[in-house]
Chains A and B, each alone.
Chain A
Amino acid sequence: MVEVHLWSGLKRLTDGEITVAVEAATVGEMLDALTRAHPGLAPVIEVGVSAAIDGEIVNGRHVAIPPGAEVFLLQRLKGG
Chain B
Amino acid sequence: MAKDEMNPAFKLIGTRVLRPDGLDKVTGRARYGADFAAPGMLFGAAVRSPHAHARIKRIDATRALALDGVKAVVTRADFPTGLTGEDWNLQENCMAGDVALYDGHAVAAVAATSALLAQDAAKLIEVEYEPLPHVTDVDDAIKPDAPAIRPGAADHSVPDGMPPNVVRYFEFGHGDLDAGFAEADIVRAQTYRTEATHQGYIEPQACVGQLGADGKGEMWVTTQGQWYVRWMCAAVLGLETAQLRVTPSEIGGGFGGKTTVFIEPLSLALSRKAGGKPVKLVMSRSDVLRATGPTASASMDVKIGMKADGTMTAGRAEFRMQGGAFPGSPLNEALECAFAAYKLPAVEHIGHEVLANRPKAAAYRAPGAPMAAFAVESLVDEIARELGLDPIAVRLKNAVREGDRSSYGPRYKSIGLVETLEAAKAHANYAAPLGPNQGRGVATGYWFNHNGDTSVSMAIAEDGTAQVSVGTPDIGGSRASLGLMVAETLGIPYEHVRVNVVETGALGINEPSHGSRATFASGKAAVIATEQAIAEMCRRAAAEWGIEPEAVDWVEGAAQPAGPNAGKFPPMKIAEIAGQMSSTGGPIAGHYEGLPEGVGASFGTHVVDVEVDPETGRTTILRYLVVQDAGRAIHPAYVEGQFQGGAAQGIGWALNEAYIYGEDGRLQNAGFLDYRIPVACDLPMIDTVIVEVPNPGHPYGVRGVGETGITPPLPAVANAIAAATGARLRRLPMNPPAVLAAIKAVRGG
User: Which residues of A come within 8 Å of B, CB atoms?
Assistant: 5, 7-9, 12-13, 40, 43-44, 47, 52, 54-60, 63, 70, 72, 74-75, 77-80
Contacts and interface: CB of A to CB of B under 8 A. Distances in A.
A5 B333 contact: no
Contacts of A47: 155
* 5 pairs of A and B residues whose beta carbons are closest in the complex: A80-B256, A79-B515, A52-B410, A9-B171, A7-B172
Contacts of B642: none
Given A44-B157, A60-B597, A78-B515, A9 B365 contact: no
Contacts of A79: 256, 363, 366-367, 447-450, 514-517, 707
B665 interface: no
A78 B413 contact: no
B330 interface: yes
Interface string B317-341: 0000000000000101100100000
A11 B364 CA distance: 31
A49 to B, nearest CB: 11
A38 to B, nearest CB: 12
B561 interface: no
B515 A9 contact: no
B374 interface: no
Nearest to A54: B411
B598 A5 contact: no
Given A63-B597, A80-B514, 16 more contacts: A7-B171, A8-B173, A52-B410, A57-B599, A58-B597, A59-B451, A59-B595, A60-B594, A72-B408, A74-B409, A78-B450, A78-B515, A79-B367, A79-B707, A80-B255, A80-B363
Interface string B160-186: 000000000111110000000000000
Contacts, number: 101
A57 to B, nearest CB: 6
B interface secondary structure, majority: loop
Contacts of B410: 52, 54-57, 70, 72, 74
Contacts of A60: 594-595, 597
Contacts of B599: 56-57
B248 interface: no
20 contacts: A7-B170, A9-B157, A13-B156, A47-B155, A52-B409, A52-B410, A55-B412, A56-B597, A56-B599, A57-B410, A57-B448, A72-B409, A78-B333, A78-B367, A78-B515, A79-B450, A80-B259, A80-B363, A80-B367, A80-B706
Interface string B544-557: 00000000000000
Contacts of A80: 199, 255-257, 259, 363-367, 514-515, 706-707
A72 B255 CA distance: 29
B159 A77 contact: no
Contacts of B701: none
Contacts of B516: 79
Contact of B330 (A5, A40, A78): A78
A76 B677 CA distance: 31
B514 A78 contact: yes
Nearest to B453: A59
Interface in B286-322: none
B697 interface: yes
Nearest to B160: A12
A75 B156 CA distance: 14
Nearest to A58: B597
B652 interface: no
B391 interface: no
Given A9-B170, A56-B597, A63-B597, A78 B363 contact: yes
A59 B451 CA distance: 9
The CB with the most chain B CB atoms within 10 A, among A13, A52, A58, A80, is that of: A80
A59 B707 CA distance: 20
Contacts of B366: 79-80
